[in-house]
Amino acid sequence: MIMNLQRIGVIGAGQMGSGIAHVCALAGYDVYLNDIQRDRIEHGIDIIGGNLARQVARGKISDADKDRAMKHIHPAPSLDAFKDIDLAIEAATEDEQIKRKIFQDLCPKISKTAMIATNTSSISITRLAAVTDRPERFIGLHFMNPVPVMQLVELIRGIATEDETFQTVLGLVKKLGKTPANSEDFPAFIVNRILLPMINEAVYTLYEGVGNVEAIDTAMRLGANHPMGPLQLADFIGLDTCLSVMQVLYEGLADSKYRPCPLLVKYVEAGWLGQKSKRGFYDYRGEKPVPTR
C-alpha cells in the first residue's frame, strides 16, 4: 500500500536541504525545516524565498505559486516538531557519524509509521538504515544540486527497504516533477560513481602538470562539450564533498583507481573548499573567478 504523504520534515537547511524544502513546498507538501541553529533555518527560508522569486521572474511559476509555497514552509528548531510528519529527509553534511547521530535522535521523535530518507551522495543506505528502528522504512533519496533546477533524483533501496517505502517515495519524486533513476546500494551510486573519479582525474592532471586549471576546464568544456569544466564543477560541489565521496569509493571498493588525489587532500586541508569558502581551484574573492594554479 502506497502511503499518502502530506507532511515532510527536512533536516539540514543548507544548500541541499533548502532546495529539497523548496521543491516539496512548491508541490503542495507541508514542510518542516530543521537545523542545529535557528539562524541557519531562517537563512535557508530566505534562500528559498529568493529562489522562488527568481522562478517567478523567469516565468516558471506565478506569484500565487510562490506565496502558497512559502506558507507551506515551517521552521522546526527542534525535532519535536517532526512528531506528525509522514517522511523525514536528512540532508546534513556528507559525514557518516553526523548522519548516524541524527537518525538516533530522530527515531524517538517521529511516529512509528513515518518513513526516513537520506540525501547522502555516497554512503551505504543499508549501513545507515541499520542505525534506525525502521530499516524497512528507510531509503536513499539523492537529489542533485541545485535541487530546484536539476531533474534527476537517485532512488537507492537498502537491503531491508520494503516495496511500500520504495513506491511511496517514487510517487513523491514524480509529484515533484523530477525523473527517478534507480540505483543499487553500492558506494557513490550511479552519478557520483562516474562523475567524481572524472573530477579526481582532472585534479591528478593538474597535480602532474599536464595542464593548468584554465587549460583543463577549457579542454573539457569545448572538447567534451561539458557545460562546466571539472575543476569549476568541483568548486561548485565543494572540495570537501568531492574528497569524502572519493574516500567512500576508495574504502568501499578497495581499488587504487579511486585513490583521492593528494592535491585534492591538500586543498581541503587548507580550507580551500571551493565557492562556499571563496577559494578552491579558483579564487572567488574578486569580481570574477581567477585560477589558483
Are 229 and 211 in contact by the 8 Å Cβ rule? The answer is no
Catalytic residue among 154, 183, 200, 244: 154
Whether 192 is catalytic: yes
Rounded to the nearest 10 degrees, the angle between the axes of helix 63-71 and helix 15-26 is 110
Q: Name the DSSP class of 140.
A: E
The yes-or-no answer on residue 200 being catalytic is: no
Catalytic residue among 121, 122, 124, 200: 121
The residue from 142, 183, 200, 244 that is catalytic is 142
Burial 151-184 (b: 16+ CB within 10 A, else e): eebbbbbbebbbeebbebbbebbeebebebeebe
Q: Which of 34, 122, 183, 192 is catalytic?
A: 192
Q: How would you write 48-86 as a 3-class SS string? A: HHHHHHHHHHCCCCCHHHHHHHHHCEEECCCHHHHCCCC
Is 121 part of the annotated catalytic residue set? yes
Which helix (H) or strand (E) segment is 138 a member of? Answer: strand 138-143
Q: Which residues are catalytic?
A: 121, 142, 154, 192
